[in-house]
Structure 1
Amino acid sequence: MLVKLGGSVITDKARPLTPRRASIRALASALAGLREPVIAVHGGGSFGHYWSVRHDMHTRADEYDARGVATVKDSMARLGAIVTGALLRAGASPYPLAPSSIMRRTRADTAAIRDMARVAEAGWMPVTYGDALWAGGRRSFILSGDRIMSMVALAVRPRLCVFALNADGVYSDPSSREVVPEMRAGQGVSTGDAGMDVTGGMARKLAESARIARAGIDVFVVNGNRPGRITAAVAGKGHQGTLIRGRRVGGRAARSS
């Protein structure tokens, strides 16, 4: 299973460089209790995104300020250590991986991603995150956690992808806060999102979720402040959130596992 811990859940996006430690502990406990291989990805929230905005860095490769790149990377390493520390204390066996280890400059390293899945199958929990990466020469770019989710999903084809956000699911209308319980890839919905986010906010999450679902993999969008909803959905005990159904071919999922 592949899980994204949203930056808006694990950090206070209104306060720079502020982790939400209680939320991180609760999510770590939920993930540690899952009885299947898990790969975890987390966002930058008020750590990486804060510095990305300050230094005007984006997902497009360009010659961004070298100090800005270094500062983003430092902040994400710090947040990553907080997340993996919480997982360790919760009883999991986290296996931190820098995102550069699964990339070849701006492209996914499929072989490395499949090795990451083998690490999960062997009993560890790989943990990686969005970050600033070198693109060649003096260029760099921001690799979002949402983009990592789709890259990993397409390479290893997990049975389920979970996006844990600071929202109850995908809203049909932000004014009514009505959650869409189930939808198809590409279905029109609200893409409104709040807070600092140079990686595209909810629009990016839905685009990457649709990419995953088109490959035949179910995607569950859930409120990360309610970790019990993640464990209930994984256990097949119903879902409170939005389930984006993977495209089926001939009545079956297109994925291999």
Structure 2
Amino acid sequence: MNSNNGITILKIGGSVITDKRSEDGLAWEEEIVRIAREISGFEGKLIIVHGAGSYGHPQAKRYALTEGFHAEGAVVTHNAVKALNRIVVGILNDEGVNAISVHPMCCTVAKNGRISDMYLGSIRLMLEKGLVPVLHGDVVMDEVKGVSIISGDQVIPYLATQLKASRIGVGSAADGVFDDKGVTIPVITSMNFDEIKAYIGGSAGTDVTGGMLGKVLEMLELGKTSSITSYIFNATVVGSVSSFLNGENIGTAIKDS
């Protein structure tokens, strides 16, 4: 598989690797194995971020963490997403990817729901030494709210900006972003966003972080502050992850203009 001299960030959505209808966490391990095998041939610098799916959203909703601080809820939610991360990282290593867990709870501080600081020194060293950091949506400490839910979709642009990533792929359970006729929109920019935002939906399961619209908004904001184009594509399709990592532009491209 082709390598990339810059940093590639690959997001795998919670809807791809878990049953988001479950209330207690159910991982699609066969899908994770397939995706891990598609990743295993990539030789460039890679960061993986995965969604929480049914390992985080139901728990956060149960304890109303988006509304206020709850100590037990923070622990339960973090432990749930950490359990999914353990599965993902374990399978990646089984398939030959030298993956290492990086839990946002342990290195991130938010302010009113947005990342204000994340320690990246260890991630930089991991990339230099050929390791693959694997982050995820998580509950993190918040200077204003006590705790916040930080989605993988918020982690991506922060990492991309701070580490100057060159390529971003957001693997979802849909063939990109659809218009009102169910056709994939090839490109979304700040120029056409207002006319299509009404078509962009949420999530099929419990999601406390904004679903597809949340993804688009985060990637659009990234496009405004950098020259990075992001691609939202269907990671449930066999070969799509490897196609993205091979340099193909698939799904919906999101950029500033």
The TM-score with structure 1 as length reference comes to 0.86
1:201 aligns with 2:211: yes
> Residue 23 of structure 1 corresponds to which residue in structure 2?
31
Distance 1:213 1:100 in 2: 26
CA shift digits 1:125-155 (9 cap, x unpaired): 0011111122259821111111111111111
Query: Percent same amino acid among aligned pairs?
Result: 28
Please report how far the alpha carbon of residue 73 of structure 1 lies from its aligned counterpart in structure 2 after TM superposition.
0.8
Write the letter of the residue equivalent to 1:34.
F
Distance 1:151 1:45 in 2: 21
Distance 2:151 2:171 in 1: 15
Distance 1:218 1:138, change over 3 A: closer
> Residue 250 of structure 1 corresponds to which residue in structure 2?
none
Please report how far the alpha carbon of residue 87 of structure 1 lies from its aligned counterpart in structure 2 after TM superposition.
0.4
> Residue 224 of structure 1 corresponds to which residue in structure 2?
235
Unaligned runs of 5+ in 2: 1-7
Which one of 125, 131, 143 corresponds to residue 138 of structure 2?
A: 131
Alignment of 1:171-210 (within 5 A): 171-173=178-180, 176-185=181-190, 187-188=192-193, 189=196, 190-193=199-202, 194-210=204-220
CA shift digits 1:37-83 (9 cap, x unpaired): 1001111101100101111122x7x3x22111111011011000000
Distance 1:186 1:19, change over 3 A: farther
> Residue 169 of structure 2 corresponds to which residue in structure 1?
162
Q: Secondary structure at the match of 1:4?
A: strand
Distance 1:222 1:113 in 2: 27
Distance 1:211 1:19, change over 3 A: same
1:34 aligns with 2:34: no
> Residue 245 of structure 2 corresponds to which residue in structure 1?
234
Unaligned runs of 5+ in 1: 248-257
Please report how far the alpha carbon of residue 116 of structure 1 lies from its aligned counterpart in structure 2 after TM superposition.
1.2
CA shift digits 1:164-222 (9 cap, x unpaired): 0010101122xx32001233246323321222111111111001111222211010111
> Residue 91 of structure 2 corresponds to which residue in structure 1?
86
Distance 1:222 1:138, change over 3 A: closer
Q: Secondary structure at the match of 1:225?
A: coil
Please report how far the alpha carbon of residue 13 of structure 1 lies from its aligned counterpart in structure 2 after TM superposition.
0.7
> Residue 4 of structure 2 corresponds to which residue in structure 1?
none
Larger mean Cα displacement after TM superposition, 21-30 or 81-90: 21-30
Contact 1:99 1:128 in 2 (8 A): yes
Q: Secondary structure at the match of 1:179?
A: coil
Distance 1:186 1:94, change over 3 A: farther
Q: Secondary structure at the match of 2:242?
A: helix
Which one of 81, 100, 105 corresponds to residue 100 of structure 1?
A: 105
Distance 1:186 1:126, change over 3 A: farther
Distance 1:216 1:23, change over 3 A: same
